[in-house]
């Protein structure tokens, strides 16, 4: 499947060179709103619309896994009203968009410390997972109340307990075994990590899973991350040479 050529770029997306797993740090909603004299919450709402479009485009392109960072373990430090607004969004989106995502054969997945979230949210999240569990298209993973260091620490505890219980010996702890115990156990490693808003950092997202990801940063705020911007990121990805520490091409 190919995008139509636009006048900015002569290249087209090569459907054989798509990343299997694309993850997005959806940043800049607040600044987008402030620039327009709007409350930060308006930026989160606008960001939600872009998210839906991005899901549709990734799915149409045939990307196997798409992940987004929606709420970090550090985001609890924001003003109470903003936290409350962010907590309402997944419920709203599940209500509004679940039938569409279901029809599009998308499988909904969540990572993060979901058990610590309000009951209505947990219920909605489990409903979305249940309703789409038989879907075989793109896996769409939302990270909510997620922090990578907490995830890794939690996994280390689980594995330590297995050793104490006598079901595992330390020598059996390989990197593959460890990865299977992370919250992302069903997902391939991230091939492409996109962060919007001009910040050049990872902010505690998927530290293990991005070991060999290609990183793409754009100054656009998340609500400005249109299909054209997504296409730019994918084109840049397909022009990168992934070496994994080895040599490629004529250097061999």
Query: Where in the sequence numbering do the catalytic residues fall?
Result: 27, 75
Q: How far is the CB of 170 from ligand IPE (least distance, A)?
A: 34
Residue 149 or 157 with smaller CB distance to ligand IPE: 149
Q: Where are the alpha helices (DSSP H) in the chain?
A: 29-35, 40-61, 80-103, 119-132, 148-164, 175-181, 227-239
Contacts of 187 (CB under 8 A, 6+ apart): 21, 65, 67, 109, 139, 141, 209
| Span from 21-29, 112-120, 160-168, 238-246 in contact with ligand IPE (CB under 6 A) | 21-29
How many C-beta neighbours within 10 Å does residue 119 have?
7
Q: How far is the CB of 79 from ligand IPE (least distance, A)?
A: 11
Of positions 27, 46, 151, 191, contacts Mg ion by CB under 5 A? 27
User: Per rule CB under 6 A, is residue 31 in the interface with ligand IPE?
Assistant: yes
User: Per rule CB under 5 A, is residue 46 in the interface with Mg ion?
Assistant: no
Contacts of 131 (CB under 8 A, 6+ apart): 98, 102, 108
CA–CA distance, 224 with 247 (Å, rounded to integer): 37
Q: How far is the CB of 230 from ligand IPE (least distance, A)?
A: 17
User: Per rule CB under 6 A, is residue 142 in the interface with ligand IPE?
Assistant: no
Say which entry of Mg ion, ligand IPE, none residue 203 contacts (CB below 5 to 8 A, set by partner kind): ligand IPE
Note the Cα 80 to chain centre separation in Å.
24
Torsion sign, CA atoms 234, 56, 14, 110: positive
Residues facing residue 243 across a β-bridge: none
Q: How far apart are the first and last CA of the chain?
A: 32
Residue 57 or 203 with smaller CB distance to ligand IPE: 203
Q: How far is the CB of 243 from Mg ion (least distance, A)?
A: 31
User: Per rule CB under 6 A, is residue 86 in the interface with ligand IPE?
Assistant: yes
User: Per rule CB under 6 A, is residue 72 in the interface with ligand IPE?
Assistant: yes
Count of residues that bind ligand IPE according to CB under 6 A: 17
Torsion sign, CA atoms 159, 160, 163, 167: negative
Of positions 13, 22, 23, 26, contacts ligand IPE by CB under 6 A? 26
Task: Quote the DSSP letter at residue 154.
Answer: H
Residues that bind Mg ion (CB under 5 A): 27
The residues binding ligand IPE (CB under 6 A) are 25-31, 69-72, 75, 86, 197, 199, 201, 203
């Amino acid at each position: 499947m190919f995008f139509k050529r636009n006048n900015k770029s002569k290249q087209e997306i090569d459907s054989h060179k798509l990343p299997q797993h694309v993850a997005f740090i959806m940043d800049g909603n607040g600044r987008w709103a402030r620039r327009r004299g709007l409350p930060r919450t308006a930026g989160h709402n606008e960001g939600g619309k872009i998210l839906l479009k991005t899901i549709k485009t990734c799915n149409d392109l045939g990307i196997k896994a798409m992940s987004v960072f929606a709420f970090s373990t550090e985001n609890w430090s924001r003003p109470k009203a903003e936290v409350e607004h962010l907590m309402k969004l997944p419920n709203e989106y599940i209500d509004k968009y679940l039938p569409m995502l279901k029809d599009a054969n998308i499988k909904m997945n969540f990572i993060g410390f979901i058990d610590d979230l309000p009951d209505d949210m947990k219920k909605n999240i489990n409903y979305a997972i249940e309703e789409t569990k038989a879907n075989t298209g793109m896996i769409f993973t939302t990270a909510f109340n997620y922090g990578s260091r907490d995830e890794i620490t939690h996994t280390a505890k689980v594995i330590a307990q297995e050793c104490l219980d006598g079901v595992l010996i330390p020598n059996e702890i390989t990197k593959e075994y460890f990865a299977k115990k992370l919250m992302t156990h069903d997902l391939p490693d991230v091939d492409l990590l996109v962060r919007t808003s001009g910040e050049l950092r990872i902010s505690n997202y998927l530290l293990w899973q991005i070991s060999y990801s290609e990183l793409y940063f754009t100054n656009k705020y998340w609500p400005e991350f249109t299909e054209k911007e997504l296409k730019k990121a994918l084109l840049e990805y397909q022009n990168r040479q992934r070496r994994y520490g080895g040599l490629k091409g004529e250097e061999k």
